[in-house]
Structure 1
Amino acid sequence: MLVYNLFPLLAGPCGSWEPHLKRAADMGFDWVFLNPVQKPGASGSLYSTVDYFQLNPLLIDQRSKKSGDEQLQATLALAGKLGLKVMVDLVINHCAFDSELTRQHREWFIIENGEIAHPFCIENGQKVVWGDLVRFNHQHTSDPEGLYRYFYQIVEYLLKLGFKGFRCDAAYQVPGQLWRRLIQEVRQKYPDTLFTAETLGCTADQTKQTAQAGFDYVFNSSKWWDFHGAWLMEQYQLVREIAPSISFPESHDTERLFQEVNGNEAAMKQRYLFAALFSAGAMIPIGFEYGFRRRLHVVNTRPTDWESPNIDLCGFIGRVNAIKRQYRIFQEECPTSLLPYQNPNILVMWKASAQTHEEALIILNKDPWNHQYFYAENLGIYIQAGAPLIDVSPDYPLEYIPRPFSYDLRPGQAFVLVTSRDHMPH
């Protein structure tokens, strides 16, 4: 999956999304992810749904003769013509505190001290409570069938609008057996529906447990990797045989990368290339390609927050996505190892496809500010294949691989080398 996150509050009414969809298709993305499109409650947060069967008024052109549902259906049909499938956030771990559901079906919610409970998290030792949200009682409701049927209706409503899949928000907070049943029953009627699990902040074991409910993809945490620690590879190896994962250099929940790296274009390229080629799936939010600096906000962002491009990475992202599409090894979670190298500022990553004869070697300058020197008497020592390595790098590819191999890597630069084995790995 190559996913472009079209953040609806920045893009505005759905009738104006066409240029964003075209740009995503031109860059080689095949999926678009939309944050929640349903009507929010009093807080205005996209993730605080007050009515699951009405659309957010901000996404609808009020002057149009078409209903909101018809407008969105037309936009999703347009995406399909451009070769894009669209998935949407599915938020069923909580809803808005001012939803009618809290009065009609009090038994569906967690009650604490006589009141419906709000979700919370612990941040820096402090309890942070989301007062605009209330928690569904998945585990102990007296009406489990009624609650389940309601969730099924939400999914069916969104599928009938034209969505092809779901990013399941905070999937680990919903019991695995509920997901298992929902995914199974939805696919009996809509067999090609895709389910991805948002698992950020989970331990590797929690991620593994969530993935086992039948999800097609989970999201990994490579965005926070410093290119040195062991944890990312440990997490990758633990989960990769259960479900493939999606990497991203930034998301709607994080600061903008361009802001974090003080406008360093080399760091932007380095981080997208790594995210795209490390795992089976990759995602960027709208504006990443232009080096936007202003963080996306689930309440306050508006189309007027659109920035003038600081850089233009559309061509580079398109070339990386083309590499990913051309070589199966970059579309799967395959055996992957970090190989030792004397310069700690250079990453040498080896990948071997478990489905084809392909093998890949990525030599990446971890330092986006300075040149780093790489030398190898023979790059063949890093691979198992007998066939020659081919350089398919998105920038500065070499026509042939010299021996010995000596190169002064530019800041953040990566070589992407592929080859083919004469036998499959064990």
Structure 2
Amino acid sequence: MPTWPEHAMWWHLYPLGFVGAPIRDGVDPDAEPAHRLDRLEPWLDHVIALGLNGVLLGPVFAAETHGYDTVDHFRIDPRLGDDEDFARLVDAARERGIRILLDGVFNHVGRGHPAFQNLTKDGPQLFRGRWTDGRFEAEVFEGHDALVALDHSSPAVVDLVVEIMCHWLDRGIDGWRLDAAYAVPSSFWAEMLPRVRERFPEAWFLGEVIHGDATAIVRESTMDSLTQYELWQGIWHGIADRNLFELSHALERHDELLSTFVPQTFVGNHDVTRIASAVGADLVPHALAVLFTVAGTPSVYAGDEFGWTGVKEHRLGGDDAVRPAFPAGPGDVEPDERILQAHQALIALRRRKPWLWRAHTDVIEVANTAMALRTAVGDDAVVVALNVGDEPVSLPIADGRALVAGEGSPADDRITLGPRGWAVLEA
């Protein structure tokens, strides 16, 4: 695994929504490029101002609707632009020291994909399914009829994905988020990824895994990291439900993963309700305090730093609220200053203490509505104190001395937090 991910922190965005492209109506994968991708460049300085150094892009390849129904992995979606637009974005990111991660949808494709449209019994075997009375009945992804499942036992699929990955790595990206990696056999990744690493040894591969034995998946697949959904759930459930024992349990399980790999951590992404809607704006800093002081490769979902809200719903268009269009630049946003400042302070702390990437966290004290955490290496320590209740609490802070973020005055190895108060201290 390359060493640069130890210092990576991502700004995660969904490009089609970000630039205000049509998602369902009037989409033509063969249309002339609309050149909307340039709208991302004014936001790159915002990434740097936050203290982040990577942009994790959602789907950018030609697709039929939401981007996860790809029809051409070698072509930028015309709703976003063309190859030249993408090259300018990569160059602009490079000038600022920002890395780029692309979203690789390699479990399935859209029904409009030419290989599926031109499928014959004698052609390359790319898809799972069976021929019945001269007609191919394709298997689909999780009941979505528009998403045709690739056959990962086929050497032709291995060759195709290797070619796609190397094509865009050669264009200057730094790695891949592997969409729906949990639905793909680990043996496929284990066969394919070493071939890519032979050409691009510095590339990083993040698998989207929402359930299963994470340790076994990493060992068997050779992926570098996985999305940490269990910790995400522990953070927002623990805070929203006023049951921090759930968060404590999630942190214990999180620590167990570190001997094998470092997970990708988050409190928001393009598939879930925004954190401000999940826990309430006043408790967002509590979630951030955990995110940026425990082990992991953290990401911020674009807009969360402003305190934006949005609820995911399970219906057609149910993702729209969490995938909105962005204004021309960050100067056009009126943020929740408390949430923005919490992001800045905690990201700065994380930047000063890169050892947090793989450090273990101890739960000093926990109750339903209050907890204290300590993450340390040697004599360097970070202590987090959280109160999600409506009454003041006093919490132990071990060797925490200097207040970094939040509020409260430490005294006699303890800190008093007001209702819904929080504090992060360093030794």
Give TM-score, length-normalised by structure 2: 0.80
**1:228 correspondence with 2:242:** no
- Closer, same or farther: CA 404–242 of 1 in aligned 2, 3 Å: closer
**3-state SS of 2:103 partner:** strand
**3-state SS of 2:56 partner:** strand
Once the two structures are aligned, what percentage of the paired residues are identical?
18
Pick aligned residue for 1:391 from 402, 411, 419: 402
- Closer, same or farther: CA 27–191 of 1 in aligned 2, 3 Å: same
RMSD, aligned α-carbons: 2.6
Pick aligned residue for 1:324 from 350, 370, 375: 350
Alpha-carbon offset, residue 188 of structure 1: 1.6
The equivalent of 1:124 in structure 2 is none
**1:33 correspondence with 2:40:** no
Counterpart code for 2:352:
Q
The within-5 A match list for 1:195-214 is: 195-200=205-210, 202-203=211-212, 205=213, 207-212=214-219, 213-214=221-222
Alpha-carbon offset, residue 253 of structure 1: 0.3
**1:118 correspondence with 2:146:** no
> For residues 156 and 349 of structure 1, what CA distance do their matches in structure 2 show?
42
The equivalent of 2:325 in structure 1 is 303
- Closer, same or farther: CA 249–162 of 1 in aligned 2, 3 Å: same
**1:90 correspondence with 2:113:** no
> For residues 61 and 288 of structure 2, what CA distance do their matches in structure 1 show?
30
- Closer, same or farther: CA 15–305 of 1 in aligned 2, 3 Å: closer
**1:260 correspondence with 2:278:** yes
- Closer, same or farther: CA 315–4 of 1 in aligned 2, 3 Å: same
**3-state SS of 2:68 partner:** coil
Question: How many residue pairs get matched?
Answer: 375
The equivalent of 2:4 in structure 1 is none
What do the CA deviations read for 1:354-383 (whole angstroms, capped 9, x no partner)? Answer: xx553333222233xx3431155xx54xxx
The equivalent of 2:78 in structure 1 is 57
Q: Which runs of 5+ in 1 are unaligned?
A: 61-67, 121-128, 381-387, 419-426
Pick aligned residue for 1:145 from 130, 138, 155: 155
What do the CA deviations read for 1:378-425 (whole angstroms, capped 9, x no partner)? Answer: x54xxxxxxx54324223375xx422635133514123333xxxxxxx
Pick aligned residue for 1:163 from 160, 163, 173: 173
The equivalent of 1:423 in structure 2 is none
Alpha-carbon offset, residue 166 of structure 1: 0.7
Are the equivalent residues in 1 in contact too, given 2:292–2:346 (CA < 8 A)? yes
Give TM-score, length-normalised by structure 1: 0.80
**1:16 correspondence with 2:39:** yes
The equivalent of 2:22 in structure 1 is none
- Closer, same or farther: CA 90–160 of 1 in aligned 2, 3 Å: same
Greater CA deviation, 288-297 or 298-307? 298-307
> For residues 395 and 207 of structure 2, what CA distance do their matches in structure 1 show?
41
**1:337 correspondence with 2:351:** no
The equivalent of 1:217 in structure 2 is 225
- Closer, same or farther: CA 111–119 of 1 in aligned 2, 3 Å: same
Q: Which runs of 5+ in 2 are unaligned?
A: 1-7, 20-35, 239-243
Alpha-carbon offset, residue 172 of structure 1: 2.0
Greater CA deviation, 292-301 or 356-365? 292-301
The equivalent of 1:123 in structure 2 is none
> For residues 252 and 401 of structure 2, what CA distance do their matches in structure 1 show?
29
**1:408 correspondence with 2:417:** yes
> For residues 234 and 176 of structure 1, what CA distance do their matches in structure 2 show?
25
Alpha-carbon offset, residue 169 of structure 1: 0.8
Counterpart code for 2:125:
E
Greater CA deviation, 316-325 or 406-415? 406-415
What do the CA deviations read for 1:299-323 (whole angstroms, capped 9, x no partner)? Answer: 8656379995451433321211111
- Closer, same or farther: CA 303–265 of 1 in aligned 2, 3 Å: closer
Counterpart code for 1:292:
W
Alpha-carbon offset, residue 106 of structure 1: 6.0
